[in-house]
Amino acid sequence: MKKRNICSVIALSLVLAAGAAGTSTLLVGADRVEAAQRNSVSPKVGRPLQAAQKLAGESKFKEAIAKAKEADEIEKKSQYETYMINEILGSLYLQTRQYSNAAGALEKSLGTEQLSSEDATARVKLLSQIYYQVKNYRKTVQYGLQYLDSSANDTDTMVIVGQSYYLQKQYKNAGNMMRKVVNTSKRSRKKINETWLQLLMSIEYEQNNEPGVRASLEDLIRYYPKDRYWRDYLKMVEKDLRGGTTKNALDLLRFRLSSGAMQNAKDYTDMAELALQEGLPGDAQRALEKGKVAGVIGKGPQAGRHERLMNMATEQAGTDKASLVDGESEAAAMPTGDADVSFGEAYWTYGDYTAAVAAVQRGIGKGVENMDDAQLRLGLAFLGAGDKTQATAEFKKITEGSPESTIADLWILKGSI
C-alpha cells in the first residue's frame, strides 16, 4: 500500500507539471489527448493536493488531511481526481491510524475503477483487513469473500472471514469457512495454526455439535498434543464408555497412563485396583510405580494405603509371572482361544510383546468369544513391539462403535502424533 501511494504522489506531480506545460506539447493524436484529459488533475484540485503532499512531507498530517479534504469538496471532479484525492487521504489516514476513515477513502478510490485489475484485487484484501481492524465484521466478510473469489487458497483472508462470521454469531458460515482453512492447509501440507483449531472447536461447541468438537480436539491433539487437550478428549471418551465393563475402564486408564494423562493419585490407585480385579497384577504394579515416579503415590494421608496396595501388587505379580509359561502351555492345549488371549494380555503387561503377539494370534486362530477384545489385545501387542502399521491394521478390524473400537481409536490417534 505504501509503495502504491508513493507512486500515486509521483504520478500526481508529473500530471501537474504536464498541466503547467500544456498537454498539447506532450501528447499527439486525439486518443492520447483524450487519455491525458482523463488522467489529469485540474489546477483547482491540484493546488490543495500539492499542499497536502508538502505538509505530509513535513509530518504535518492534520493539516495535510485538511488540504486533501479541501480538494475533495470541489464539485464536478473527474473520476481520476476523485481517485487521486482518496488515494492520498487513505494514505494519510493510515499513517495517522485513523483506520475507519482510511477504509472509507480507499473504498471510494476503488469505486472509481481507476486501479489496475491486480491493484484492485490487492485493495479488496486490504479493505477486508482494515474493516476487521475496526470491527466492522459485515464489511470484512463482504470484501473477504470478494477477494477469495480470485484467491481461493488465501488462508489469512479465510481466517478473518471465519472470525468475522463467528463474532456475528453466524456459526454455520463460520464453521464452513474455518473447516475450509484447515482442509486447505492440510492439502498444502502447511502448518495448521493452533488458534484456527481452537476457533473451530468453539464454533462447533456453540452449535452443540459434539462430533465436530471431538474432530477439532483430535486435530488439536494431532498437531498440538498438549495435556489439556488430551484431558478434554478423554472426558468425552469416558462419557462414551460409561456403563461399560471393568475391562473397558481399565483400558482407558491404561491409555491415560501411556499418554501422560493421569491427573492424581486416585487415577493410579483406580488402575491398580481394577487390574488386580482382572487378575493382571503386572498392570497394577506398573501403575503404582509410575505414580510413585510422578510424586503422587506414597505421599500424603493415603501413603499407608498406597504402600499396602503396592506390596499386594508386587507379591501377586511375582507369583503370576513365574506361572506364565506353564499356564500358557495349558491354554495352548485348550480347544478355544480365550485363555490364549488372556495369557497374551498378561505377557503384554510385563512388556514381553513377542510372546503376547504369539499367544493372542493363536487364540484368534482357534476362535474366541469376544473377537473385538482379542483384536484390541493383538493391536496393543503389535504396538508394544513397535509395529504401528500392523497394530493399526488389527485395530481397524474391530467392530465400529464398540467400546473396544473407542479404545483402539485412542491408540491410533496417539500413533498419528
Q: What is the pLDDT of residues 175-207, one digit of tens each?
A: 999 999 999 999 988 889 999 999 999 999 999
pLDDT at 417: 61
Distance CA 173, CA 175 (A): 5
Tell me how far apart the alpha carbons of residues 357 and 56 are, in angstroms, rounded to a whole number: 78
C-alpha cell at 151: 484467491
Confidence (pLDDT) at 227: 86
Quick one: pLDDT band at residue 51, thresholds 50, 70, 90? very high
pLDDT of residue 38: 57
* DSSP state letter for 190: P
9, pLDDT greater than 50 = no
Using 50, 70 and 90 to split pLDDT, how confident is the model at 19?
very low
pLDDT single digits (tens) 371-391: 999 999 999 999 999 999 999
For residues 203 and 205, what is the distance between their CA atoms, to the nearest angstrom? 5
C-alpha cell recorded at residue 37: 484529459
| DSSP character at residue 98 | -
Pick from 267, 251, 257, 274: nearest CA to 407: 251
Length of the chain: 417
pTM of the complete model: 0.78
pLDDT at residue 23 tops 80: no
Identify whether the C-beta of residue 132 lies closer than 8 Å to the C-beta of residue 168. Answer: no
Tens-place pLDDT, residues 198-254: 999 999 999 999 999 999 999 999 999 998 899 899 999 999 898 889 999 999 999
C-alpha cell at 231: 484431558
Question: Where do you find CATH 1.25.40.10 in the chain?
Answer: 116-224, 228-415
Q: What is the pLDDT of residues 53-84, one digit of tens each?
A: 999 999 999 999 999 999 999 998 999 999 99
Is the C-alpha dihedral spanning 351, 355, 360, 363 positive or negative? negative
3-class DSSP state for residue 5?
helix
Reference 107, options 134, 76, 71, 74; nearest CA is 134
User: Is 396's pLDDT higher than 50?
Assistant: yes
Please give the pLDDT value at position 314.
Answer: 96
Helix (H) or strand (E) holding 62: helix 61-72
Residue 260 to residue 88: CA distance in whole angstroms: 59
C-alpha cell at 126: 486490504
Is the alpha carbon torsion for 256, 257, 263, 267 positive or negative? positive
Q: How confident is the model at residue 152 (pLDDT cuts 50, 70, 90)?
A: confident
* Options 3.30.70.240, 1.25.40.10, 3.40.50.1860, 1.10.10.10; CATH of 116-224: 1.25.40.10
Question: For residue 108, what pLDDT band results from cuts at 50, 70 and 90?
Answer: very high
CATH 1.10.760.10 fits 228-415, yes or no: no
Separation CA 154–CA 143 (nearest Å)? 13
